[in-house]
Chains A and B, each alone.
Chain A
């Protein structure tokens, strides 16, 4: 079993590495990069909401903080984006800790609206602190990741490998964290907070910790996007951005490691597949589709694609035993 898994993982890795060499269309490569960034962003949201059960509707705040911090550090202070990305993540982590404080007391709709408010306040700051952020125009001309050994990270192809490494690293961390004592405790807290406290889980510290970690990766993903697009705007802090992560995760499978990965890739490509529709009606139909898919998932497909897979596997295993 373990050997089989290793073979599959190896094949997957080779496929990921070879993919942009086989598909040389720059547009598809661009979509791959965007998918990978959203893999990190959605997975980090999943850590708070899927594993710990804390409905965070303000995750875009971390995305935006990471992006703006890293971009501004590079633009104003000349900090290397390689370092800036991590500093952006750390600043987002600090914000995550702050946002974790209300989460100690609030849940459900109260937490949802508070987290929306948090992101919304930051979006207004990004819109109105024109001297620093250039307001709704956004920041442009953000330096790309500096190259080395003659490699420049300005093309989709080279950036793909950066994003792939980042996503692999993030997923490795998420895998380790969620399957550890800590991750199990988070899930226990999600299932029953009082029950969790009765076995010694100090839920307050666990919540603050998971908000901090998740925010770090959210900010890191944002910084990655900033140095890829080299153009960011306050829209990165909007509810719509959180909604993307939420939909991707829900469709893939909330509270699973693979779910957000599947969801992010699927929806990134799907929304581009809708381009021709958008050209016909001259507007963005992406969010209609996202919203519709989300509702369908919640109503008819519990656990998303991973849930379907589990049920299908469970049934076929059951059939096997009977036969």
Chain B
């Protein structure tokens, strides 16, 4: 059953068409790879799925609900989390606080309830709340960041900051995780580690859509692939089949040639 799908999504920026009539469905529990040459519209698609942009035409359906017009925070509240190509961690917060912030149950009443609640807690600070910290520590451990727990996020090595972003996304308890190049800029050892982490996340039942340039990573973990080229979907299916699809080969070789 599809958990997240797009129906004929088109996105225009001024005169430019970044996405043209893209339809696809992410099945529950699967890892879907999203590939394509530079400028194919991959990140735009993730931005649309996560509510950062709204489609010019078409719809985004999540568990039967049309979420095309929802703002990013509401999309996240529904159960879709994401990471960014260029990390957007909270630099001057600690690693633990980065994760804690994402765990907050924000509810319908919004910030006022949180303000009110801050006067009635046992621990005087949220980052000393025992239950919350235990959960956060578990998440940090699962991505191998526990040693850096009280470090400021800006001091993390690059590979670790990428993992922190994943941990932070997981802290929002998502059903769908959108990963934008999680292993770009990592060395081979770090990439392997990253693959392992992503697999473990998927084994918990979280559906994953992943953009990746490193073919080894994408072939390794994807159940299925879709390929974008100049904003259009040109192929979809099993990794092996897609990889050998003449259209795809042509797109890569004729386009940027970085396959």
Contact = CB atoms under 8 A, between A and B. Distances in A.
Find out whether A and B make contact in their complex, taking CB atoms under 8 A apart as touching: yes
Interface of A: 173, 175-177, 179-185, 187-188, 191-192, 194-203, 205-206, 209, 213, 255
Contact of B90 (A175, A191, A202, A206): A191
B257 to A, nearest CB: 32
Contacts of A179: 118, 124-127
A200 B102 CA distance: 7
B126 A201 contact: no
Contact of A181 (B50, B52, B84, B114): B114
Q: Which of A180, A206, A209 has the most CB of B within 10 A?
A: A180
A177 B73 contact: no
Nearest to A184: B101
Contact of A180 (B89, B114, B171): B114
12 contacts: A176-B119, A179-B118, A179-B124, A181-B126, A182-B118, A185-B101, A191-B93, A192-B89, A198-B73, A199-B73, A200-B102, A206-B111
B73 A195 contact: no
B224 to A, nearest CB: 25
A187 B97 CA distance: 10
A234 B172 CA distance: 48
A176 B52 contact: no
A209 B90 contact: no
Contact of A195 (B84, B100, B106): B84
Interface in B112-152: 112, 114-115, 117-119, 121, 124-127
B106 A202 contact: yes
A187 B110 CA distance: 16
B34 interface: no
Contacts of A196: 90, 101
B117 A199 contact: no
A199 to B, nearest CB: 4
A175 B50 contact: no
B54 interface: no
B88 interface: yes
Given A181-B101, A185-B101, 14 more contacts: A177-B118, A180-B114, A180-B118, A180-B126, A181-B104, A181-B114, A181-B126, A182-B115, A184-B93, A185-B104, A188-B101, A200-B172, A201-B101, A205-B110
Contact of B73 (A173, A183, A191, A203): A203
B114 A199 contact: no
Nearest to B132: A181
Interface string B88-109: 1111110001101110101000
A184 B115 CA distance: 11
Given A194-B88, A202-B73, A180 B115 contact: yes
A199 B115 contact: no
Contacts of A200: 73, 76-77, 102, 104, 106, 172
Contacts of B168: 199
A178 B71 CA distance: 25
A271 B73 CA distance: 46
Nearest to B72: A197
A52 to B, nearest CB: 11
Contacts of A191: 89-93
Which 6 A-B pairs have CB atoms at the shortest separation, nearest pair first? A180-B118, A195-B88, A179-B125, A191-B90, A182-B114, A197-B72
Contact of A176 (B71, B124, B127, B172): B124
Given A176-B124, A195-B88, A195-B89, A184 B100 contact: yes
Nearest to A176: B118
Contacts of B32: none
B115 to A, nearest CB: 5
A214 to B, nearest CB: 12
A199 B118 contact: no
Contacts of B91: 191-192
B209 interface: no
A255 B91 CA distance: 14
B89 A202 contact: no
B76 A199 contact: yes
A187 B117 CA distance: 18
B88 to A, nearest CB: 3
Interface string B57-77: 000000000000001111011
A295 B144 CA distance: 42
B169 interface: yes
A180 B117 contact: yes
A176 B81 CA distance: 29
Contacts of B106: 200-202
A202 B104 CA distance: 12
Given A184-B126, A200-B73, A177 B172 contact: no
B172 A194 contact: no
